Amino acid sequence: MKNNANHISRPLLKPLSFNSQVNVAAPGRINLIGEHTDYNHGYVLPTAIDRKINFSFQRNNSQSICNVYSKTVQKGFSFDLKDIEKSNEIWENYILGVVNEILKRKKDLQGFDCIIESKLPIGAGISSSAALECGLAAGLNELFNLKLTKKEIVFLSQAAENNFVGSNCGIMDQFASVMSRKDHLILLDCLNLEPEFIPANFNSCKMVLVNTMVSHSLAEGEYNTRRKECEAALKVLQSHYTGIETLRDVNLEMLTESSEHLTGAQFHRVKYVLEENKRVLDAAKFLKAGQLEDFGALMYKSHYGLRDLYEVSCKELDFLVEFTENISYIYGSRMMGGGFGGCTINIVEESQIPSFENEVKQAYAEAFGLDPDVIIVSPGEGTVVERV
Which of 173, 308, 318, 371 is labelled catalytic?
Answer: 173
Q: Which of 302, 307, 168, 306 has the alpha carbon at shortest distance from 225?
A: 168
**Beta bridge pairs of residue 69:** 76, 115
Half-sphere exposure for 30 (CA within 13 Å, toward CB): 29
How many angstroms separate the CA atoms of 94 and 166, rounded?
10
351: which DSSP letter?
G
How many angstroms separate the CA atoms of 68 and 110, rounded?
14
Q: How far is CA 65 from CA 15, 109, 355, in A?
A: 13, 10, 52
282 is catalytic: no
3-state SS, residue 26: strand
How many angstroms separate the CA atoms of 296 and 99, rounded?
40
242: which DSSP letter?
T
- φ/ψ of 53, rounded to 5, equals -105, 130
Residues acting as catalytic residues? 173
